[in-house]
Chains A and B, each alone.
Chain A
Amino acid sequence: MSRIRSARAVRLVAKREINARLRTRSFVVSTAVMLVLLLGYVALQAFLAGDRETTRVALAGQAQGIATQLENNDRHLKIVLVQSESDGLTQVRDGEVDALVSGSASRPRVIVKSTLDTQLRTVLDNIAQQQVLDAQLYSANLDPAAVHQAVSATHADVQALEPADPQAGTKLATGIVVAILLYLSIMTYGMFVAQGVVEEKSSRVVEILLATVRPAHLLLGKVIGLGLVGLAQLAILAAAGLLAGGVSGVFSISSVALGTLGWGLVWYLLGFLLYAMLYGAAGALVSRQEDTQAVVGPVNIALVIGFVAGINLLTQAPQGTATRVVSLIPLLSPILMPARIALGTVEPWEIVLSLLLTVALIAVVTWVGARVYRNGVLRVGSRVRLVDALRR
Chain B
Amino acid sequence: MTLEIDRISKRFGTKTALDGVSFTAAPGELFGFVGSNGAGKTTTMRIALGVLAADSGEVRFAGQPVTHDTRAQIGYMPEERGLYPKMRVIDQLVYLAELHGLSTNDAHRAAELWIARLGLGPRRKDDIQKLSLGNQQRVQLAAALVHDPALLVLDEPFSGLDPLAVDVLSGVLREKAATGVPVVFSSHQLDLVERLCDRVGIIRDGRMVAVGTVDELTRDAGRRLVVTAPSANPGWAATVPGARVLEDRGPTTVLELSPSADDQAVLAAALATGPVTEFSHRRRTLADLFRDSVATPGAPR
- Which residues of A come within 8 Å of B, CB atoms? 1-2, 5, 8-9, 12-13, 16, 19-20, 199-200, 203-214, 378, 380
| Contact assessment for B100 and A212 in the assembled complex, using a CB-CB cutoff below 8 Å | yes
Which A residues touch B86, using CB under 8 A? Answer: 20
**Complexed CA–CA distance, A177 and B50 (Å):** 48
Which A residues touch B99, using CB under 8 A? Answer: 9, 12-13, 209, 212-213
Which A residues touch B85, using CB under 8 A? Answer: 199, 203
* CB-CB nearest 8 A-B residue pairs: A204-B82, A205-B82, A204-B80, A207-B78, A211-B49, A211-B76, A203-B82, A212-B99
**Complexed CA–CA distance, A199 and B80 (Å):** 14
Can you name 19 A-B residue pairings with CB atoms under 8 Å? A5-B72, A9-B99, A13-B99, A16-B87, A20-B84, A203-B83, A204-B78, A205-B83, A207-B46, A207-B51, A207-B82, A208-B76, A209-B99, A211-B49, A211-B74, A211-B76, A212-B71, A212-B100, A214-B68
Query: Quick check: is B143 within 8 A (CB to CB) of the other chain?
Result: yes
Which B residues touch A20, using CB under 8 A? Answer: 84, 86-87
| Contact assessment for B80 and A12 in the assembled complex, using a CB-CB cutoff below 8 Å | no
B219 to chain A, nearest CB (A): 37
**Complexed CA–CA distance, A320 and B296 (Å):** 80
Smallest CB gap from B96: residue in A: A208
Which A residues touch B51, using CB under 8 A? Answer: 207, 210-211, 378
Which A residues touch B71, using CB under 8 A? Answer: 211-212
Known: A209-B99, A378-B52. 8 other contacts (CB 8 A): A1-B69, A2-B68, A9-B99, A12-B99, A206-B82, A207-B46, A208-B78, A211-B76
Query: Quick check: is B95 within 8 A (CB to CB) of the other chain?
Result: yes
| Contact assessment for B69 and A2 in the assembled complex, using a CB-CB cutoff below 8 Å | yes
| Contact assessment for B69 and A5 in the assembled complex, using a CB-CB cutoff below 8 Å | yes
**Complexed CA–CA distance, A12 and B91 (Å):** 12
Smallest CB gap from A23: residue in B: B86
**Complexed CA–CA distance, A211 and B152 (Å):** 12
Which B residues touch A199, using CB under 8 A? Answer: 84-85
Which A residues touch B222, using CB under 8 A? Answer: none
Interface residues of B in 97-140 (CB under 8 A from A): 98-101
Query: Quick check: is B291 within 8 A (CB to CB) of the other chain?
Result: no
**Complexed CA–CA distance, A281 and B144 (Å):** 28
| Contact assessment for B52 and A208 in the assembled complex, using a CB-CB cutoff below 8 Å | no
Smallest CB gap from B129: residue in A: A203
Which B residues touch A212, using CB under 8 A? Answer: 71-72, 99-100
| Contact assessment for B84 and A205 in the assembled complex, using a CB-CB cutoff below 8 Å | yes
With A2-B68, A16-B95, A214-B68: A203-B143 Cβ-Cβ less than 8 Å = no
A26 to chain B, nearest CB (A): 12
**Complexed CA–CA distance, A214 and B69 (Å):** 11
Query: Quick check: is B282 within 8 A (CB to CB) of the other chain?
Result: no
With A20-B87, A205-B84, A208-B143: A5-B101 Cβ-Cβ less than 8 Å = yes
Smallest CB gap from A210: residue in B: B51
Chain B 276-295 interface mask (CB, 8 Å, partner A; 1/0): 00000000000000000000
Chain B 260-278 interface mask (CB, 8 Å, partner A; 1/0): 0000000000000000000
